Amino acid sequence: MTVYESDLPGVGKKHEVELGDGARLVIVTHNSGKREVFRRADADSDSEKLFELSDQLARQVGTLLEGAYFQPVQTDKIETLLGGDTMLEWVEVGEDSPVAGKTLADSDLRQATGASVIAIERGDRVIVSPGGDATLEAGDTLILIGPSEACRDVASMVRGD
């Protein structure tokens, strides 16, 4: 990646980033801190303005792009990829879930989908490697492992939606 930097007297600084397909990303940093981001499809074409950010917002977006920062967001679904197509997934048992009140063996999750429950989080207690007789209750969080598609199937079934 090549970055070209040039001064814009009276305005600020300009950085051009080669995108690889001949296009360039042009970032104009105004003295006021405002950033304007443009794209030039090729050397001959004019810059198309993509968006504009305030100084603070630009820094936050920048660290996000860098992967150095994220604001934890509450989600009901957290996925972690282990490699290959295997996923770890957290899923909460919903009030109307068909598996609520059943034991793990009765719910038949593994046979039906191919994903296994490796732990159950209940309040501040964690049941590790639950046996077939472990009961699933509404409000439990199941930690699943398995192929991503299987995890998704189990998740939608367990959530009860």
Q: Which is nearer to other proteins, 45 or 80 (CB)?
A: 45
The nearest distance, CB 37 to other proteins, in angstroms, is 9
- Min CB(127)–other proteins separation in Å: 58
Question: What does the block give as tokens for 142?
Answer: 């199941």
Residues 2-61 that bind other proteins (CB under 8 A): 6-11, 14, 26, 28, 31-32, 36, 38, 40, 42, 44-49
Of 46 and 133, which CB lies nearer to other proteins in the complex structure? Answer: 46
Decide whether 49 or 77 has the Cβ nearer to other proteins.
49
Please choose, from the candidates 73, 54, 124, the residue with its C-alpha nearest in 3D space to the C-alpha of residue 141. 124
Q: Which of these, 104, 95, 100, 111, lies nearest to 134 by C-alpha position?
A: 104
For other proteins, the closer of residues 11 and 64 by Cβ is 11
Q: Look at residues 151, 137, 143, 152 and name the one whose alpha carbon lies nearest to residue 93.
A: 137
Least distance (Å) from other proteins to the CB of residue 22? 11
Q: Cα torsion for 112, 82, 103, 127, to the nearest 10°?
A: 170
Give the whole-angstrom CA distance, residue 130 versus residue 138.
16
CA 111 – CA 108 distance, rounded (Å)? 6
Tokens 């990829």, located at residue? 81
- Minimum distance from CB of 41 to other proteins (Å)? 8
Residues forming a β-bridge with 144: 89, 117
8/112 with CB nearer other proteins: 8
Q: Find the shortest distance in angstroms from Cβ 50 to other proteins.
A: 10
Q: Which residue ranges make up the site for other proteins (CB under 8 A)?
A: 6-11, 14, 26, 28, 31-32, 36, 38, 40, 42, 44-49
